[in-house]
Structure 1
Amino acid sequence: MSSAFENLSARLRAAWKTHKQATTPRAFRCQCGRPVFFRNSQCLACDTPLGYEPLRARVLPLEPVGEHLWREYGAGPNAPAYRRCQNFDAAAACNWLIPADEKDAQGQLKPLCMACRLNHTIPDLSVEENALYWNRVEQAKRRLVSQLIGLGLPVVPKSEDPERGLAFDFLRAPEGGPPVMTGHADGLITINVEEADDAKREKLRAQLREPYRTLLGHFRHEVGHYYWDRLVRDTDWIKPVRELFGDDQIDYAAALKKNYDEGPPADWKDRFVSTYASCHPWEDWAETWAHYLHMVDTVDTALSFGIDADDVEIEAEPWTREALWRPEDRDAEAFLGFLNAWTELTAVLNEMARSMGQPDFYPFVLPRPAVAKLQLIHAIVRGAGAPVPAPAAPVAAPTAAEVPEPSERKPEEPEPLEPVV
């Protein structure tokens, strides 16, 4: 009898096969045949230069074709040429590629890649440690942005679309100044770069009794608020979202204050993916959105590396159509397969983490209402290319999506810095 892990691998492949074009591979090979990874800019085996092509979702081995120009190794003279992102030599160490002839609206060659063009403010690099923090923040951001592109979600810089675009402020509080609060407002996501300090982040995680707190988790949560504005607000999706997540028009500030004064409801584990999700429908959406991105990227990674292990036995009660938002949906069976494979995969990965004395890889238990919400988010992502507009009163997005401490706030008008090149 084949092992449960082999069955799991088969189910992962079958469940996600129809969506493979919309997700992001994570395993690559150099021209020498050795494995290379998403963040690599050079093969450690043969020293071949590498670069990430976001629209092809591939790390490419490169060969020079002129001054500052590259093409895929061995692809021939007619292969497209690329330039490296200007932040390649900066502390950000960006390994992304830009089509050689890609120009801005003024006809100038774009110096920055699709990910770096989203930056509005970067940390003051004259301050000690900020270069390291920025490097770590950018690694997490590039992982996020590559996934958003792979899922077919709109990723447009605010500099190119002021009303609907996305931008990032990476800030650090000055000595003695007001603390920086991670949050989202009108397409601008603020990240406190001190979250890149492992010790400080772990201290906050313990203080707030959070089972999980990572830079990538912050990015995925905050971008959930952005996509609420892009994909849900003012569209026909607002009705089913309110049915499942609750009325987002209730007072946000009052809901947050109640959460900090009284704590989460006693039954939060039966209804939400996390305690923070119970604060307000906006936070429930953002937390569930982040979990969806966690799940998809983890499954993508498992598929990319062809999970294949023997003698692993996992038994889990499978989710059925009764738990779904729309059991009759044409994609319901595939979504269930993905969800059940995810449940078994994380059980194995949690045990592997414990074997190394580490915290659980996925320290959450999905309650039944969260499964329905995840299916709704899946449907919205799947249809992101053509959201259906509907008349609706504008609902302002939260000005802060995660509040590490009630006293923390974002500086009202951060001074933009020149991008590092």
Structure 2
Amino acid sequence: MSSTPRCPSCRRFVYLDTLVCPECGTEMGMQVIDRVFVALRDGRATGDDGTWFACSEREWGCNWLVRDDAPAGRCISCRLTRTRPDQDDTIALEKLAKVEEAKRRLLLQVGDLGLPIVPWYTTPGGLGFDLLSSRSDGRKVIIGHANGIITIDLAESLDDVREAVRVKLGEPYRTILGHLRHEIGHYYQNVLIQDDETWARCRDLFGDERASYQEALKRHYAVGAPESWQDSFISEYATMHPWEDFAETFAHYLHIVGTLQTAAAIGIRLDAGVSTLRDIDVVPRDDYRDEPVGRVLADWAALSQGFNRVNRSMGLGDLYPFTITQPVQRKLAFLHEIITRTPLTTDEQVALALAPGEESA
């Protein structure tokens, strides 16, 4: 989102998941082409760009809108969900609502970055989500990605479940949005890298992804990360296999530019004459497409220090508990290049909102 979302009636700041303005009671929905909230009356809004209807999943917290000429009553985000809990599994569906909220945030971000979104139901290997709960029927749900489909365990929307896993694995950070950003990194590795030269550069930075994944998995959980892994990797899990290194670094790129975009939207800046964190002004941007990666990382170095201090003042852990070393900076620079060279076209923005084509049965 390149601007701060506001209520269309009273102009109060609202969060991306808002259904009803807490100040004036206006029922609202997000028109995702222009990234603005509009007021709804009887579940619809009419303007110069046509009539928009509330997504049919609004009862489960979806506040996106669907244009009257769209091929389905569900918004693009909801249609990208290939598999979900049964309708009578209301406990799992309550968890689904929280995960869908994070997914909508993810899709807004990749849309703002200009990354193509090709739905699973229009193209083999297209993007889709299986959102299942390991708490339903005793099924085993493994978070991961395969051939465009991202699988998320809804049980991790529960703080106690997710925190237990985080502590067990010794991770400094674990969230549903983090899972989604990581897994979509797997998807975009094959979407954004198409030529031999770029693959060679990718392998030089991250390693050869053609190495056995199963052997790497066994080795990682048997002996753990190599010594001094912090010198070259953003996380311990990134050391497991080149695929995971790429996906972890991709997730961090989204963490960084997404948080900088939010800082820009709400007007956060560091003035050199006041701040002790930098000798020059730091003014985060809502779009870094035309900026070198050095600007991204310099802004983030200063802002993340400030955010960490704020968290500590509340007795919390660091907002961003990671160190970006020179090797990681080079990996982030590669990602910045392949992401920003993707043309941002009107067609892609419209595809994000409308996604032409019917869902498969």
Amino acid across the alignment from 2:301 = T
Asked if the contact 2:27/2:40 (under 8 Å) is kept, the reply is: yes
Counterpart position of 1:17: none
Counterpart position of 1:86: 56
Counterpart position of 2:163: 202
TM-score, normalization: structure 1? 0.75
Q: In 2, distance between residues paired with 1:308 and 1:248?
A: 40
Matched, 1:293 2:263: no
Distance 1:82 1:183, change over 3 A: same
Of residues 265, 287, 293, the one that matches 1:335 is 293
Q: Answer with 1 or 2: which has the greater Rg.
A: 1
Of residues 111, 116, 119, the one that matches 1:157 is 119
Post-superposition Cα deviations, 1:194-213, rounded to whole Å, max 9, x if no partner, equal 11110010000000000000
Q: In 1, distance between residues paired with 2:297 and 2:270?
A: 20
Counterpart position of 2:109: 147
Amino acid across the alignment from 2:230 = K
Post-superposition Cα deviations, 1:315-374, rounded to whole Å, max 9, x if no partner, equal 499xxxxxxxxxxxxx89632122111111011111111111111100101111111111
Q: Secondary structure, in 3 states, of the residue corresponding to 1:101?
A: coil
Asked if the contact 1:264/1:275 (under 8 Å) is kept, the reply is: yes
Q: Secondary structure, in 3 states, of the residue corresponding to 2:33?
A: coil
Counterpart position of 2:147: 186
Residue 41 of structure 1, CA deviation: 1.7
Amino acid across the alignment from 2:58 = F
Asked if the contact 1:57/1:150 (under 8 Å) is kept, the reply is: no
Distance 1:150 1:132, change over 3 A: same
Q: In 2, distance between residues paired with 1:70 and 1:332?
A: 35
Residue 172 of structure 1, CA deviation: 1.7
Per mean C-alpha deviation after superposition, the further-off stretch among 93-102 and 179-188 is: 93-102
TM-score, normalization: structure 2? 0.87
Counterpart position of 1:361: 319
Q: Secondary structure, in 3 states, of the residue corresponding to 1:369?
A: helix
Distance 1:160 1:292, change over 3 A: same
Q: In 2, distance between residues paired with 1:174 and 1:131?
A: 11
Distance 1:240 1:26, change over 3 A: farther
Of residues 199, 217, 225, the one that matches 1:238 is 199
Counterpart position of 2:24: 46
Q: Percent identity?
A: 38
Matched, 1:114 2:63: no
How many residues are paired up?
337
Q: In 2, distance between residues paired with 1:46 and 1:378?
A: 41
Counterpart position of 1:281: 242
Residue 377 of structure 1, CA deviation: 0.6
Counterpart position of 2:100: 138
Q: In 2, distance between residues paired with 1:254 and 1:185?
A: 18
Higher relative contact order (CA 8 A, sep 6+): 1
Counterpart position of 1:228: 189
Counterpart position of 1:312: 275
Distance 1:81 1:207, change over 3 A: same
Counterpart position of 2:66: 98
Q: In 1, distance between residues paired with 2:178 and 2:257?
A: 13
Distance 1:174 1:30, change over 3 A: closer
Q: In 2, distance between residues paired with 1:29 and 1:313?
A: 35
Uncovered stretches (5+) of structure 2, i.e. residues with no partner: 281-288, 345-359
Counterpart position of 2:38: 61
Q: In 2, distance between residues paired with 1:53 and 1:175?
A: 34
Amino acid across the alignment from 2:25 = D
Distance 1:25 1:155, change over 3 A: farther
Asked if the contact 2:134/2:140 (under 8 Å) is kept, the reply is: yes
Q: In 2, distance between residues paired with 1:156 and 1:242?
A: 25
Distance 1:174 1:46, change over 3 A: closer
Post-superposition Cα deviations, 1:152-210, rounded to whole Å, max 9, x if no partner, equal 1111220122x231111111236674521100000011101111110010000000000
